[in-house]
Amino acid sequence: MKITSILTSLTAAAVMTTTGVTFASAESTLDIVKKRGNLRCQVGQPSPGYYNLDSEGNWYGLDVSVCQAVAAAIFGDKTKLEIQSVSSQARFTALANGESDLLSRTATWTMTRDTQLGIDFLATNFYDGQGFTVRKDSGITSAMELKGAKVCVTTGTTTELNLTDFSRQNDLGIQAVTFEDYNVRDDTYLNGGCDAVTGDKSSMAGNISSFPVPGDHMILPETLSKEPLASAVRHGDSQWSDIVRWSIFALINAEELGITQANVDDMKANSKDPNVLRMLGAEGNLSDGLGLESDWAYNIIKAVGNYGEIYEAYMGHGPQGIGIDRAGSLNALWTDGGLMYSPPMR
């Protein structure tokens, strides 16, 4: 079954109309989602690695897999899902007002977003940092050489503020050229309208791969910021927060335990490890506090695999991947020196 794609484009007026409205319901988010029969999960405009469309119009990517994981946890079916592609300007309003049940996109977890927008960030699924892309023939080898440069940047993002802070801190006088659409941003850069483009390094790696001659461009070595990319839900429903949070942790914990999409049935039936049996619902009562069936985590891994499998497929070197090595990065498991870590599932 195809995943439904809804391209949501809210005008500035619509955002102003809905801003500040508190979404209230006597029903829990889980009840609403079950009655509707699908999960409304928000992503952004197609972006390699995170959320993209195949030739048949199906969404795929790291963040889409998180959407699918939550749908599988609730319904036992990852296709019980409506993907909403929402602009950067409207994304948090759409979530806070209940138009989306879950935001799973390249959104940086910051204090002001977490405490002032009526939403809650949950678990980080990718650790990133901001950088610059330049043409190799520009002769620029360091971000400190961008004094007075024109830099293309997407507006309404932490990227824009980080660029301003970096320029001010280093007295570079960088001229920000802002765009709402990252495709227009990149086209402007490719056509010579900017000396550089800035964004999360992972996103830029994916974008460079789609440039006419990827080898003509490079990402400068400096990392400007911390960009923990995390899913978020509307504030005020702790059960829903727990469901999404632990669905993401289940992906990570499965990798830690060696549970894969291919072996999950065998592990559930034959493993002697109590941690595996508890997680997959073969024993214990982990599901009680979530309001889900005992096999919720089993359904997740059966549907989408573990975190490592998802990473390799879309961020790594799989057929749909963007070629970002995981080894030695913050996105490696904690046992391999990274930050990917699940609290104990017991």
Domain ranges of the chain: 4-127+228-336, 130-225
Q: 250 φ, ψ to 5°?
A: -60, -40
Which two tokens mark 224?
A: 């400007």
Q: Which superfamily is assigned to 4-127+228-336 in CATH?
A: Periplasmic binding protein-like II (3.40.190.10)
Give CATH for domain 130-225: 3.40.190.10
Of the listed ranges 11-20, 34-43, 147-156, 159-168, the one predicted with least confidence: 11-20
Which two tokens mark 306?
A: 């573990």
CB 119 within 8 A of CB 22: no
In this prediction, residue 116 carries a pLDDT of: 97
Q: What is the pLDDT of residues 220-274, one digit of tens each?
A: 999 999 999 999 999 999 999 999 999 999 999 999 999 999 999 999 999 999 9
* Residue-by-residue DSSP string for 311-338: HHHHTSSSTT------TTSTTSBGGGTS
Question: In the predicted model, what is the mean pLDDT of residues 169-184?
Answer: 93
Is a pLDDT exceeding 90 seen at residue 14? Answer: no
* Residue-by-residue DSSP string for 248-281: HHHHHHHHHHT--TTTHHHHHHH---HHHHHHTT
Question: In the predicted model, what is the mean pLDDT of residues 152-163?
Answer: 90
Q: Buried b vs exposed e over 54-88: b needs ≥16 C-beta within 10 Å?
A: eeeebbbbbbbbbbbbbbbbbbbebebbbbbbbbb
Q: 228 CB contacts (<8 Å, ≥6 apart)?
A: 108, 109, 124, 127, 128
Q: 88 CB contacts (<8 Å, ≥6 apart)?
A: 44, 154, 155, 156, 157, 180
User: What is the model's pTM?
Assistant: 0.87
Q: What is the pLDDT of residues 284-299, one digit of tens each?
A: 999 999 999 999 999 9
DSSP state, 99?
A: S
> What whole-number distance in Å separates Cα of residue 343 and Cα of residue 331?
16
In this prediction, residue 13 carries a pLDDT of: 34
Is a pLDDT exceeding 80 seen at residue 9? Answer: no
Question: Which residue type does 49 have?
Answer: G
Q: What is the pLDDT of residues 49-84, one digit of tens each?
A: 999 999 999 999 999 999 999 999 999 999 999 999
Q: 171 CB contacts (<8 Å, ≥6 apart)?
A: none
Q: What is the pLDDT of residues 320-330, one digit of tens each?
A: 999 899 999 99
Kindly report the average pLDDT of the chain as a whole number.
92
Is a pLDDT exceeding 80 seen at residue 18? Answer: no
Q: Please list the helix, strand and coil fractions of the chain in percent, rounded to the nearest 5, in that order.
A: 40, 20, 40
List C-alpha distances in Å: 217 to 46, 50, 189: 21, 21, 11
Q: Give the pLDDT band (50/70/90) at residue 157.
A: confident
Angle between helix 182-190 and helix 201-209 axes, rounded to 10 deg: 60
